[in-house]
Structure 1
Amino acid sequence: MAPQMTFLAVKSSSLFALVLLWTLGPASGSPDRTKTVEFNVKPGGVVHTFSERVREYECSFTYASQGGTNEQWLMSVGLSDDDRLFSCSVWRPQGKSYLFFTQFKAELKGTKIEYANAYSQTAMGGQSDVALKPEEFTVGDSTVTHTDGKFRAELSKLTVIGRTRHDEL
């Protein structure tokens, strides 16, 4: 099955390359630059946080969900070859999540967010990502959060890319 891709106007070719990379799936680079780890998303309405880091950059995914049983999710974090972009993707590899998310927040430490998008799955059990409506989530300098009263409790993927504060010497 061909990957579903969303094209956006982006500020640089390296940012475009990283957006494309994370849209297609987990990065396969050196362990000091990229990492993909599995974690359980647990229902029950309790707030949980899962975090991963590459070097001094960290991604935290905080959520609360209801319904069903635990689901296996993945988090991929990566640092671009020039150390200027740090990305984080959180997703359910089996596709549609059967949990209802009452809240979510992704936070990138050490970066300023340049791009973020959240997705749900099609209702018919397809594997196509459907972008959440812009009013369902809010993008800040370092966080992406659900919007109270607008978020419809469906989440299957979250992608965030931040510009690091790396300076050339």
Structure 2
Amino acid sequence: FVLTSPCVPAEASDEQAKTVEFNVKPGGVVHTFSEGIYECSFTYASQGGTNEQWLMSVGLSDDNKMFSCSVWPQGKSYLFFTQFKAELKGTKIEYANAYSQAAAGGQSDVPLKPEEFTIGESTTHKDGKFSAQLSKLTVIGRTRHDEL
């Protein structure tokens, strides 16, 4: 599926948006993957299955005021995430949304409950509340270009 962020128009230039592939590795070990001008980093630990190919898409809005970062698997994820965290270096996260996969095939992803994750300096799982299912994570921050 294609994830479109509200602050990154589909017609954004190559300099404004890019998508890269990375491996999500199970085994319970903490890994971090980073990308982009404002350095979006996705830190996680997962269990089960084998390595999966995931995508990270980063982009700037046309006015350079908003920066977005999204991560999602290529296809269905079979991993159980024991933790996750997304951070935007050089910008403050103003919006985040996380999803788990729908139980039945063909349905769209289901938003995580607000009590499953927090939004602040970073977006992170909440211990004891997070269901270990993650299929998509989007964070959006305001760049510092608009400060007076």
- Render the CA deviation track for 1:56-94: whole Å, top value 9, x for unaligned: x11000000000001110000001111100000000131
Q: Which of 128, 136, 144 is equivalent to 1:165?
A: 144
> What is the distance in 2 between the residues matched to 1:44 and 1:17?
34
Question: TM-score, normalization: structure 2?
Answer: 0.91
1:156 pairs with 2:104: no
Q: Distance in 2 between matches of 1:135 and 1:167?
A: 32
Identity %: 78
**Corresponding residue number in structure 1 for 2:87:** 107
2:7 alignment partner in structure 1: 18
The Cα RMSD (Å) is 2.3
* Structure 1 moving runs of 4+ over 3 Å: none
Q: Mind listing any 5+ residue stretches in structure 2 that lack a counterpart?
A: none
Question: In structure 1, the residue corresponding to 2:104 is in which secondary structure?
Answer: coil
More helix by share: 1
1:67–1:100 CA contact under 8 A, matched in 2:
yes
Give 3-state SS (helix, strand or coil) of 2:115's partner: helix
SS across alignment from 1:166: helix
Unmatched segments (≥5 aa) in structure 1 = 6-15, 22-26
Match of 1:80 in 2: 61
Cα deviations across residues 32-52 of structure 1 (Å, max 9, x unaligned)? 211100011000000000000
Pick 1 or 2: higher relative contact order, CA cutoff 8 A, min separation 6: 2
In the other structure, the counterpart of 2:16 is: 33
Q: Report the equivalent of 2:39.
A: 58
- CA–CA separation in structure 2 for the residues paired with 1:48 and 1:73: 13
